[in-house]
Chain A
Amino acid sequence: MHVVVCAKQIPDPAAPQSLDADHALNRSGKQILDEADTYGVEMALQLVDRAGGGEVTLVSMCSAADVAGLRNGLAMGAARAVVVSDDSLRGSDALGTAKVLAAAITRLNPDLVLAATESSDGYTGTTPVQVAELLGMPSITFAKAVRVEGATVTVERQTEAGYDEVSAPLPCVVTVTAGVVEPRYASFKGIMAAKSKPVEVLSVADLGLEGQVGWSGARQEIISVVAAESRAAGEKHVDEGDGAQRIVEFLDSVKVL
């Protein structure tokens, strides 16, 4: 079984974030593999194991100059990575990104495509399903469990009330939630092996997408960025055994007791 995992490198969420003058997210610092994607990588590795063979390929749109985050996915056990890297991709929106990923994925002819439900930087949460529509594949989002039997994938999909069991024929796009599996730590051997695993680099021209991606393809624009109305901090007390009493007094003061 061949599983493609859509992987995104993002600025370290622990570091302060800012927008550039053109309103794109500042990505000049160190890029890391989005933690949300490590669940997809782990799930893919487990599914390939259970299927008794196959491999996991990472697909990403990022600068080929910095693929350290993808190397983490390779160190976990993915076999190779395909990177679409091109200056003209700057400013791409979710649909532009989906076009790039779909074009890269279709060359790989996978049985299953996994992605996170949303990235931890842009969190639009639409790209994987746009990829599915562009590829003419079914999709199942918000998976909290995934199993493959023969040519069918069955997913426990989160709902407002609990979860639905949803199945679809392969090939299919599935988005996984954080916590769906426990991502493995890369072993020393894995980290060493990752250094020599293949990372194929493709351009926008290689995919035949000139003019459809980047700023020109986005067809939406940010017109302003302003500080939001902020909530003022109220009182802060250090608990000296009276914390609970203070909460009760507060609840009294707002008349909810």
Chain B
Amino acid sequence: MSGLTLSSTAERIYWLGRYLERSETMARLVIVHANLLIDMPKRLPLGWRPLVEITGSASEFAELYDEMNEKTVCRFLINDARSAGSLLNSLSWVRENARTVRGFMPLRAFEYFNELYLLGREKLTAPLSRSRRLQGLTEVVEHIQRIDGFMSANMLHDAHWNFLRIGQFIERADMTTRTIDVGTGTFWEGAIDLEPFADVQWRSVLRSLFALQSYNTTVGEPISQEPVIDFLLHDSRLPRSVDYGLMSVRNNLRSLPRHERPLRAINRIRRSVAQTDVRKLSAADLNLFLDECQIQISELHDEIRKTYFDFKPRRRPSKQRQKKPQKQPQKQPQKQSKPQAAAARRS
């Protein structure tokens, strides 16, 4: 092409990156959480609640189900077509976005995205036994990792690439703060005495971020809340740390035109993350801080959207403190009416 990147193309690729990352993290969270619950006291009420809470979709869940248990939460997160954030819906967004921008990716790429969707649909439709669920989710994670490697190695590192990475890393930074949220166990507070299980919990958090091994080899402290959070927030060598995600977003933004405002938003978050000493925060303040991170990341998203995708001036989002921001869904892309598109043909 002539070097120009359409806003709509950039937006599609950005969301492709976000949904790809979101799918992977969700799949891993379910795997690890199920595993964690095996080690927790059997009478733990609302064992699956944290997974609903971290996506910020508790009210959506309440509309769909009467009870919160393993079965309903897994349906909600994995394969319920009515749940906007379910893994299968995310994978279908991945495919739809990839279809629209296939011309800007290596030739085989779309086939991989298509296969990913088909894999999810084949392996993860209800009813899911525990072992089938584990198997299916693991395959999805592995397929996504292969795609990630293929794209890094083969896609032209142009503006389209930058938007893919920005999408992936914004999502990653956001998901990591939410994963830490789960680890703090606030959602179970008061239900039981969690103290004896703290290290089990943080071990599973590390595992869900592929960071257990890295932690053991680089952090000279036994696994407990403070050093783990510190590691996941600040360690710039860890590909899934919040800081690494934000730096990657920044580096990709730097290759793009008109990046001043989004860069300023990034610097704001990085400063506030760097200045926070988690060891000094009370449990309540820690949760406030994580919520604040998520709000700032959603503001960064807004800056990117306003700069590159959507030029029309919009009202500023209210500065009021919101409760935990819900996972952002892709703005319904201009609904392409299929009948119209098909009818628009001529001989």
* Binding between chains A and B: no
* B→A interface (CB under 8 Å): none
* A→B interface (CB under 8 Å): none
